[in-house]
Amino acid sequence: MSAVLEGAPAAPAPRRTLARFARFVGRFAERAAGIVLFLALWEALPRLGIVSDAYLSPPSAVLASIGQLLDNGQLWKHVAASLQRSLWGLVLASSAGVLLGLLIGGFRRLAAIVDPVLQLFRQTSAFALFPVFILFLGIGELSKVAIIFWASFWPVLLSTVSGVKQVDRLLVNSALSMGASRRFVFFKVVLPASLPSIFTGVRLAGAYSITALVAAEMIGAHSGLGFLTLNSQETFQIPTMYAGILLLAVLGLLLNYLLALLERRLLRWRRGLSLDE
């Protein structure tokens, strides 16, 4: 009889699995509907002559252009160049931003000293500094990575500083009162409590890295999606131009998805609240 009672709760498992699958299909359908409507409108505008295809290529022509880039091997060349520059700039900016942000957020005197300079620099656009980067670093890869670094550095730094400052002082005092060392408090209390804010900055930096990448590759580059987009516009290859824009958007989405996945893995203890659950 005990065996029957122990086995009874297992019965609803298939129903739970079916319910989860139904919710997944529903969420997928909701997201896919918007994309399908957008693509249909995009295809209809040039096909119906509402907008000239000399200015707006339909998605079918854009996909055909991507297929040609894939066939001649140019697609992976441009994607690899852009991805390498973006990741180098993002990784360097995230590392420097987190380290400096932890120092500034943890030491009030240091924050008071460097804050005026940081506020000045953060208002200086990476695009405005492009001539300076070229002057010091040339038109090679270093100047392009430097532009991406500058654009991506500030959201990571500011989010890290904000995250450290918002750590509940009660948690710190409680750990210290129980004999914990300051090193222990930093790694076990301050840093974990700051991680949600830090990851917010890193995801913003990921978006900024793609934006800065486009500008960096439009000057003095011979490869990359930004170069492909500008060069196609100058040679009036409009479908290829839109292909470059679309690929940049996809690259940004993939980067954001990977960062969000990393955030979920590292912050499993943090779960959001959804009103429709």
For the stretch 126-167, pLDDT in tens is 888 888 888 888 888 898 999 999 999 999 999 999 888 888
214 and 241 together in one domain: yes
34 and 156 together in one domain: no
Q: Which of 268, 255, 237 is CA-nearest to residue 62?
A: 237
Query: Is residue 272 situated within a structural domain?
Result: no
Query: Which ranges of the chain would DSSP assign to H, the alpha helix?
Result: 2-7, 13-47, 59-71, 74-106, 108-122, 130-137, 141-165, 169-177, 182-185, 191-217, 225-234, 238-266
64 and 37 together in one domain: no
pTM: 0.80
Instruction: Name the pLDDT band for 271 (thresholds 50, 70, 90).
Output: low
117 and 239 together in one domain: yes
Give the end of a domain, one of 56, 71, 86. Answer: 56
Query: Is residue 52 situated within a structural domain?
Result: yes
43 and 66 together in one domain: no
CB 127 within 8 A of CB 148: no
88 and 156 together in one domain: yes
User: CATH code at 259?
Assistant: 1.10.3720.10
Lowest-confidence pick of 50-54, 72-76, 144-148, 231-235: 50-54
Query: Is residue 7 situated within a structural domain?
Result: no
CA distance 109 to 122: 20
CB 43 within 8 A of CB 60: yes
CA distance 204 to 48: 38
Domain total of the chain? 2
Query: Is residue 131 situated within a structural domain?
Result: yes
pLDDT of 93 over the 70 cut: yes
201 and 71 together in one domain: yes
Query: Is residue 3 situated within a structural domain?
Result: no
Amino acid residing at 233 = Q
176 and 245 together in one domain: yes
21 and 71 together in one domain: no
111 and 165 together in one domain: yes
255 and 241 together in one domain: yes
Taken in order 83, 257, 205, 265, the sign of the CA dihedral is: negative
DSSP 266: H
Instruction: Name the pLDDT band for 272 (thresholds 50, 70, 90).
Output: low
What pLDDT sits at residue 245?
92
Range of the domain at 27: 13-56
84 and 221 together in one domain: yes
pLDDT of 77 over the 70 cut: yes
How high does pLDDT run on average in the chain? 84
Query: Is residue 211 situated within a structural domain?
Result: yes
Query: Is residue 137 situated within a structural domain?
Result: yes
